[in-house]
């Protein structure tokens, strides 16, 4: 993205402590503008804000229109992302267990480092292969990198460990929609 507005956290969602990512199917025109963003899933309270932000995005012009899936993520933070990340990195380095590595990976994902998050989710899974949170997080980091088929596989592995996790089932459904739209 070359320019555009940052999504505004809807006040009602903040009051309800709702966090998460809204997934949109977007068409980037040859001029670089966004046409017809379509809500695919995610917290409904953030849907309109995500669509409004996407409509302001501008990309470099290209030879052809590009249809893709994008996410707009909303997270409540009591601190700056940099401070949170530093605190989690220090804890994970002092005591590298699955729980701390997974927490660090989630924070990396929040600050936009999907590849860094993927690395730590994978490390956490080497320490504890039955960590459904790490599996779902790995799926989220892969989805953020546009690897929807791999993200779906990670969510499916996580659901083998935690088959009654309804939010994960709902998220898997969204990922499957993203994968169909992206292909």
What is the extent of the structural domain holding 112? 81-182
pLDDT for the residue 183: 61
Same domain, 54 and 121: no
pLDDT for the residue 111: 67
With respect to residue 4, please indicate whether it lies within any of the assigned structural domains. no
CATH number for the domain harbouring residue 88: 1.25.40.10
Residues in contact with 183: Cβ distance below 8 Å, sequence separation at least 6, in sequence order: none
C-alpha angle 6-12-79 in degrees, rounded to nearest 5: 55
Q: Structural domain tally of the chain?
A: 2
Same domain, 100 and 169: yes
Label residues 81-104 b or e (16+ Cβ within 10 Å = b).
Answer: eeebbeebbebbeeeeebbbbbbb
d(CA 111, CA 120): 14
pLDDT for the residue 125: 94
Query: Hey, is 70 helix, strand or coil?
Result: strand
With respect to residue 150, please indicate whether it lies within any of the assigned structural domains. yes
pLDDT for the residue 1: 57
Query: Hey, is 33 helix, strand or coil?
Result: strand
Per-residue pLDDT of the chain (183 residues; tens, 9 = 90+): 568 888 888 988 888 888 778 888 888 999 999 988 988 877 889 999 999 999 999 888 888 888 887 878 887 765 555 666 777 778 777 777 888 888 888 878 766 778 888 998 999 999 998 999 999 999 988 988 888 899 999 999 999 999 998 888 988 888 888 777 666
Domain boundary among 41, 74, 107: 74
Domain boundary among 74, 94, 112: 74
CA distances (Å), origin 80, targets 110, 141, 172: 11, 21, 30
With respect to residue 105, please indicate whether it lies within any of the assigned structural domains. yes
Same domain, 66 and 89: no
pLDDT for the residue 146: 83
Same domain, 101 and 65: no
Backbone angles phi, psi at 57, to 5 degrees: -70, 145
Q: Which residue has the tokens 């892969």?
A: 142
pLDDT for the residue 122: 94
CATH number for the domain harbouring residue 53: 3.30.2420.10
* Short-list 121, 126, 127, CA closest to 106: 121
């Amino acid at each position: 993205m070359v320019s555009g507005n940052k999504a505004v956290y809807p006040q009602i969602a903040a009051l309800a402590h709702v966090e998460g990512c809204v997934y949109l199917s977007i068409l980037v025109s040859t001029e670089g503008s966004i046409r017809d963003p379509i809500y695919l899933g995610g917290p409904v309270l953030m849907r309109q804000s995500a669509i409004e932000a996407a409509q302001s995005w501008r990309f470099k012009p290209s030879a052809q229109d590009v249809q893709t899936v994008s996410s707009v993520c909303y997270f409540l933070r009591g601190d700056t992302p940099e401070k949170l990340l530093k605190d989690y990195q220090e804890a994970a380095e002092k005591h590298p267990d699955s729980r701390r590595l997974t927490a660090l990976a989630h924070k990396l994902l929040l600050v936009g480092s999907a590849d860094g998050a993927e690395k730590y989710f994978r490390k956490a899974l080497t320490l504890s292969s039955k960590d459904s949170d790490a599996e779902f997080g790995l799926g989220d980091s892969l989805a953020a990198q546009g690897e929807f088929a791999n993200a779906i596989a990670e969510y499916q592995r996580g659901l083998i460990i935690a088959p009654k996790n309804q939010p994960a089932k709902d998220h898997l459904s969204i990922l499957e929609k993203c994968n169909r739209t992206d292909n």
